[in-house]
C-alpha cells in the first residue's frame, strides 16, 4: 500500500488513516509508487476540482520538471488538455516534452510571458498551475485567458506579490491558493478516492508514470535536501530504508 500522509514522513513507520491509502498500482514497484500519492492527489484536486480543467483547454504548468509538475504535465495531457510547461535548461525541457507537454518554455533563456503568448496565439492559458507564488503573480495573471484560473500551490518566489485587480476583472479570471495539508480528513479521503478511481487506471495503462530523480537512504536525508536545493532535480527524490 501507499498513502497520503498528514506530514512527518521521515520515519521507518507511520500511522495513517485507511481512507488515505491506495494499493500499489499495477506495473509499478513499491519504491517507485511512493512518488505518486502526494503528487497525484495535488495534481488531481488542483487541476480537476479547483481548476475545472476541460478537454481542449490550455494548461500552463509553471515548473513542469518538479515533483508535482512532472505529474501534472502527464495528467493534463491524459485529460485532453494542451499542455504548456516551463522548465530550466534544454535537457529538462526535452524531458517535459517526453511527458506530454506540447510546448515547453526554457525560463532560463526565454521570456516566459512572450513565449506562452506566442504559443497560444495571444490568448493565454485557461489554467495556470503555479509553484512560484508571489514573484510570479503578475506574470501569471497576464498569461490567463479570458475566464482563466490561476491555481497557486507553491511559494518558491515568496508569499506576497502585487495583483492588478483591473486586469483580473477584465479577464473575469480567478486566483486560488491551495494546500493538501490543511484539508480535513473527509476532504483528503474524497481526494484519495477520486485519485484511485481516475488516476490509478492511467498509471496502470502507462499514460502516467512516477518520475524519480534519485533514491537516497533515510539516514542521508541531508543529501536529498542538497539535491532539491541544487535546482537540478527532475521529478521526485525518494528517501528509502
What's the chain's average pLDDT? 96
Domain assignment present for 42 = no
pLDDT exceeds 90 at position 8: no
82 and 135 co-located in one domain: yes
107 and 72 co-located in one domain: yes
pLDDT exceeds 80 at position 48: yes
pLDDT in tens, 116-170: 999 999 999 999 999 999 999 999 999 999 999 999 999 999 999 999 999 999 9
Domain that holds residue 211: 2-37+182-240
CA distance 30 to 135: 37
Average pLDDT over residues 99-126: 97
101 and 164 co-located in one domain: yes
Question: What is the reported pTM?
Answer: 0.95
Average pLDDT over residues 39-58: 98
161 and 187 co-located in one domain: no
57 and 164 co-located in one domain: yes
The region, left, alpha or beta by phi > 0 then psi within -120 to 50, assigned to residue 195 is alpha
231 and 162 co-located in one domain: no
Crossing angle between the packed helical segments 37-44 and 69-78, to the nearest 10 degrees? 50
Q: What pLDDT band is residue 11 in, cutting at 50, 70 and 90?
A: confident
Amino acid at each position: 500500500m501507499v498513502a497520503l500522509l498528514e506530514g512527518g514522513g521521515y520515519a521507518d513507520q507511520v500511522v495513517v488513516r485507511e481512507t488515505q491509502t491506495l494499493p500499489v498500482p499495477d506495473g509499478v514497484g513499491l519504491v517507485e509508487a511512493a512518488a505518486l500519492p502526494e503528487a497525484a492527489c495535488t495534481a488531481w484536486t488542483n487541476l480537476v476540482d479547483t481548476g475545472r480543467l476541460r478537454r481542449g483547454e490550455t494548461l500552463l504548468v509553471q515548473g513542469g520538471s518538479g515533483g508535482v509538475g512532472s505529474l501534472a504535465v502527464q495528467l493534463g495531457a491524459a485529460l485532453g488538455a494542451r499542455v504548456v510547461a516551463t522548465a530550466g535548461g534544454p535537457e529538462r525541457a526535452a524531458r517535459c516534452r517526453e511527458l506530454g507537454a506540447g510546448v515547453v518554455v526554457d525560463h532560463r533563456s526565454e521570456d516566459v510571458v512572450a513565449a506562452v503568448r506566442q504559443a497560444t496565439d495571444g490568448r493565454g492559458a485557461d489554467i495556470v498551475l503555479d509553484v512560484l507564488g508571489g514573484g510570479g503573480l503578475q506574470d501569471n495573471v497576464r498569461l490567463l485567458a479570458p475566464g482563466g484560473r490561476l491555481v497557486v500551490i507553491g511559494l518558491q518566489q515568496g508569499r506576497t506579490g502585487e495583483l492588478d485587480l483591473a486586469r483580473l476583472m477584465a479577464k473575469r479570471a480567478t486566483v486560488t491558493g491551495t494546500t493538501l495539508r490543511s484539508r480535513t480528513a473527509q476532504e483528503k479521503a474524497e481526494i484519495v478516492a477520486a485519485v484511485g478511481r481516475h488516476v490509478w487506471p492511467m498509471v496502470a495503462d502507462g499514460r502516467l508514470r512516477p518520475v524519480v530523480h534519485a533514491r537516497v537512504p533515510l539516514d542521508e536525508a541531508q543529501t536529498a535536501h542538497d539535491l532539491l536545493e541544487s535546482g537540478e532535480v527532475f521529478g521526485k527524490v525518494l528517501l528509502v530504508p
